[in-house]
Amino acid sequence: MDGVINELPQPFTKYACSKQNQLNFHVKTREACKNGAACNVSLKVSKSIVIGDMSVGKTSLVNRYCHNVFEKDYKPTIGVEYELRKYKILEQEFHLQMWDTSGEERFRCITGAYYRGAHAVIVVFDISDITSLQNAGKWMEDALEKTRSTTPDLFLVANKIDLVNASELEATRESALDVANQLNAEYWEVSAKTGANVRELFARVAAICFDQAVLRETSYQKQPHAQMGGLSSIKCKNQPQTAIIVLSASKNENGINEEKDNRKRCCR
């Protein structure tokens, strides 16, 4: 298991968070997990895609989370790479697919095919490169065009925060928050190099995908072997045991400035 989650992890900032009023898992999700209604599927799976310009650190971000490694020199992703992470959320087994896609134009026709069926779209940009932020909207628009059937949750992720100073970070943050709100996406700042906020980001993605997946499943309880997360039920035997990392919701240690006029200081 990659992690045990019993409470909905908190967003990075309330100023760009489409679910800012949702403080915990939906009451119907918690009831379904408690009374066994969410146990109808042997393996619950949701799909997330990681997209964005070349060299913004998509592969580094996924590798930091999945393998806790960072390599300075990565070869460009050719097409699509895939990871699968396992969780135990509200006592239910849950799997999150992570599709790491190439940012090269020549692979767009290939990678675009993998957008379909996604329940979370993670658009990554390099916070030290404003052009990658300006292109974020195009990436999100392309992904939404191909994921109409699943209405995915959206995340705008600023990577490489270790490369900018405080004043540069604040300046770009203002623009990024505006873009995130325009896209109705949740905003995060991370560093694949140092690992800052990486685990928290993906725990949040997994928890939100799980919440939505259980709500979809319980809406079709009359159908035997209902699909979870838009993917067919898979039965797994002799699954390997791995270390469990306990994740739970906690408030921002530094707090978030309640005044909207000071929102540049709203983030961790």
Query: 238: phi > 0 → left, psi -120 to 50 → alpha, else beta; which?
Result: left
Q: Name the more confident of 220 and 264.
A: 220
Q: What percent of the chain has pLDDT over 70?
A: 73
Check whether 231 has a pLDDT greater than 50. no
The reported pLDDT for the residue numbered 246 is 36
Task: Give tens-digit pLDDT for 44-55.
Answer: 899 999 999 999
The reported pLDDT for the residue numbered 266 is 55
What average pLDDT does this structure show over 139-148?
91
Check whether 77 has a pLDDT greater than 70. no
Q: How many CA atoms lie within 13 A of 63 on its CB side?
A: 13
The reported pLDDT for the residue numbered 174 is 94
How far lies 9's CA from each of 5, 47, 106, 206, in Å? 8, 19, 37, 10
Q: What is the helix (H) or strand (E) element at residue 186, kind and residue range?
A: strand 186-189
Task: Give tens-digit pLDDT for 56-69.
Answer: 999 999 999 999 99
The reported pLDDT for the residue numbered 108 is 55
Check whether 153 has a pLDDT greater than 90. yes
Check whether 9 has a pLDDT greater than 80. yes
The chain-wide mean pLDDT, for the chain, equals 81
The reported pLDDT for the residue numbered 53 is 94
Q: What is the pTM of this model?
A: 0.80
List of domains in the chain? 3-265 (3.40.50.300)
Q: What percent of the chain has pLDDT over 90?
A: 59
Q: Per-residue confidence at 42, pLDDT binned at 50, 70, 90?
A: very low
Q: Name the more confident of 216 and 103.
A: 216
Contact 103, 56 (CB under 8 A): yes
What average pLDDT does this structure show over 120-126?
97
